[in-house]
């Protein structure tokens, strides 16, 4: 059996579909973010990052860096093993307290990534509920889909943000245990879930709710707890999941909720029990970031201002934006090859880094460039972005808004 040939054929299929992923070597400049150095095959050059999930630039914040470096000097670089074997570091205990306080919950539990917290959290909660039915939004992230799959429980998919369809499925489920899993902000479209209405339906039909706030924590609400805080419905959600690797600028994931639920996940979840803990230095940095954003709205205000300016400039240039009310700006290309070509051209000809978003992250025919301005993308950088995108659109003969057929624009 020629195993290498089989792998090579699989990779060739990705290349034919223009979905083969290229990982560019990029070194961020903490002092000059969002500027960075691209180590290209032709040599090093300065670029500007326009697609970072470090939405507020907290990965370069002096308080965050200082907390990380000082903790590493005291206790070392790593955690030494799992939390059960190597012991709970004080830094992680403090981080979980910060997270519980952030979301107004009794307890928090930290994982090594947001992917793991979703996959492990959903699977473990559903497994512990006898005959549980999981009701999952059709737009949910792969980590949530994998959590549902790994639970081994029956699932039904409700149409994206469709309350009537969700109620229909809840009513049909009867009195069995039910878990509704959904996101607050959907990362590729930037749309927002009706959290309060979903929670009301869940309460009416006796279901638990599990909310992914990874693209909202740090970004929305008085203290940066997310969309649920902004909308005043945080207390209605049973389990809130988030990440430390986006607006908080570090790495890691977590869940928060009632103490008994969190303790059950801590006690039964393989993805928690059998993996090395976050290094104390990382936990300390995350706590510093969370504390800062609980007390400072400046970063959120500045970021929202630059998002507004970027959207307005792109609209004036007649570039095809998907309308959103959040910080995520999808510019629609709608064809995989053109999307990859546009991304490559932006990087090589204009020094702008925006990764193409293709299938399976989005459905075929909805490929896009996903732009995420930070507080540090000033007016000069916005003007450069718009000029570059306009030139790329013209070179690739991509349609501007007024060029689209009337039927397609509706």
Q: What residues are annotated to the active site?
A: 246
Q: For residue 135, how many other CB atoms are within 10 A of its CB?
A: 25
The answer to whether 158 and 166 are in contact (CB under 8 A) is: yes
List, in order, residues 6 or more apart from 162 with CB less than 8 Å away: none
The answer to whether 144 and 122 are in contact (CB under 8 A) is: yes
The answer to whether 126 and 134 are in contact (CB under 8 A) is: yes
The answer to whether 241 and 114 are in contact (CB under 8 A) is: yes
Instruction: Convert 190-238 into a string of H (helix), E (strand) and C (coil).
Output: CCECCHHHHHHHHHHCCEEEEEECCCCCCCCCCCCCCHHHHCCCHHHCC
Instruction: Convert 143-165 into a string of H (helix), E (strand) and C (coil).
Output: HHHHHHHHHCCEEEEECCCCHHH
């Amino acid at each position: 059996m020629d195993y290498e040939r089989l792998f090579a054929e699989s990779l060739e299929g990705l290349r034919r579909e223009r979905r083969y992923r290229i990982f560019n070597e990029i070194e961020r400049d903490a002092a000059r973010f969002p500027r960075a150095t691209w180590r290209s095959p032709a040599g090093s050059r300065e670029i500007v990052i326009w697609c970072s999930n470090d939405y507020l630039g907290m990965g370069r914040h002096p308080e965050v860096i200082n907390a990380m470096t000082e903790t590493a000097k005291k206790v070392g670089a790593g955690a030494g093993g799992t939390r059960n074997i190597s012991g709970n570091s004080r830094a992680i205990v403090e981080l979980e307290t910060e997270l519980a306080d952030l979301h107004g919950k009794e307890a928090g539990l930290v994982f090594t990534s947001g992917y793991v917290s979703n996959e492990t959290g959903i699977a473990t909660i559903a497994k512990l509920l006898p005959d549980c039915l999981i009701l999952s939004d059709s737009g949910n992230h792969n980590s949530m889909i994998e959590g549902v799959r790994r639970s081994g429980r029956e699932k039904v998919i409700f149409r994206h943000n469709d309350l009537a369809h969700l109620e229909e499925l809840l009513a049909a489920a009867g009195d069995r245990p039910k878990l509704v899993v959904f996101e607050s902000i959907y990362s590729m479209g930037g749309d927002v879930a009706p959290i309060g209405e979903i929670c009301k339906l869940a309460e009416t039909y006796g279901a638990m709710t599990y909310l992914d706030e990874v693209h909202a924590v740090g970004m929305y609400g008085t203290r940066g707890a997310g969309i649920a805080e902004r909308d005043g419905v945080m207390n209605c959600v049973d389990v809130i999941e988030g990440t430390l690797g986006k607006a908080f600028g570090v790495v890691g994931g977590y869940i928060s909720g009632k103490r008994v639920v969190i303790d059950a996940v801590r006690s039964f979840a393989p993805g928690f029990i059998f993996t090395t803990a976050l290094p104390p230095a990382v936990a300390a940095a995350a706590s510093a970031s969370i504390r800062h954003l609980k007390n400072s709205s400046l970063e959120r205000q500045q970021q929202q201002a630059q998002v507004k300016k970027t959207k307005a400039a792109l609209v004036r240039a007649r570039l095809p934006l998907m309308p959103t009310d959040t910080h995520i700006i999808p510019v629609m290309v709608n064809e995989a090859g053109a999307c990859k070509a546009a991304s490559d051209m932006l990087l090589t000809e204009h020094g702008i880094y925006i990764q193409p978003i293709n299938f399976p992250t989005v459905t075929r025919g909805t490929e896009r460039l996903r732009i995420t301005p930070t507080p540090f993308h000033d007016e000069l950088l916005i003007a450069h972005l718009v000029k570059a995108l306009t030139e790329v659109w013209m070179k690739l003969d991509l349609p501007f808004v007024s060029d689209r057929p009337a039927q397609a624009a509706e």
